[in-house]
A = this chain, B = another copy of it.
């Protein structure tokens, strides 16, 4: 799957992942109204609104980008119906040949991590039958429990040719509270980055490991260091746009061939129609606004990478 990701980035010239993190206040009123007419103001109604919103955005941008990243929390908050919308979104994106990165940030003791891995990127046995329940291609993993909490995810990746992004340095303001603490003479995130590189060392695709890392765009200097520590890890970079990261901040996350990183934008793409720059599209044409936002992001990153050459 890591090979497919690299190929698709080269084909689309877009190291971009669209974060499908639908907050209710991003969803245009006409979509909400229609969903509530059919299902009432219920969890099912919310889930239907999310699904219709996602579907229209995906229809408008699927040919431009290699991957999407649904944040499962935004679905899980609406309970079972919300998670059904997550599942429908994953399946639909696969039909559109998009790579799906499930942003689930799971991580637990070994036997529990094994269950999460089975459900999201692997398979479960029921009697004599085998199922692949959620079926994402990549997932994000929290490393706080150490190697035996991460290993079961890596094992499933190896078997199923799926991938991981390990949280190394997150994009949020207080990420440094623990992640930046100095241990053995260097920040904790460097130690976690080294471990991520080790976990992925025997799990290699053509040029990159199945085991990647999350490093926030909001910390470009950290990105430079981690790029060196984890040369074979693809870096998933959140924090572009709404969280403050710019194209120029991103150059250090990439290798010279323009690969090695994929940049996420969520609100900046899916709620583009609410921004002044795309207001002319109007709420009715929110999908086209998203398409314009993807094209602008592509140009911004491309310019930054060209300027850095």
Contacts and interface: CB of A to CB of B under 8 A. Distances in A.
A127 B39 CA distance: 12
B119 A77 contact: yes
Q: Which of A23, A32, A76 has the most chain B CB within a 10 Å cutoff?
A: A76
A260 to B, nearest CB: 23
Interface in A9-62: 21, 23-24, 32, 36, 41-43, 45-46
A79 interface: yes
A79 B129 CA distance: 15
A279 interface: no
A147 to B, nearest CB: 5
Interface string A117-133: 01110001111110101
B41 A109 contact: no
27 contacts: A41-B126, A41-B127, A41-B129, A42-B129, A42-B131, A43-B131, A46-B124, A71-B112, A73-B112, A73-B115, A73-B116, A74-B115, A76-B115, A76-B119, A76-B120, A79-B87, A79-B133, A80-B83, A144-B144, A144-B170, A145-B175, A146-B175, A146-B176, A146-B179, A149-B174, A181-B191, A183-B188
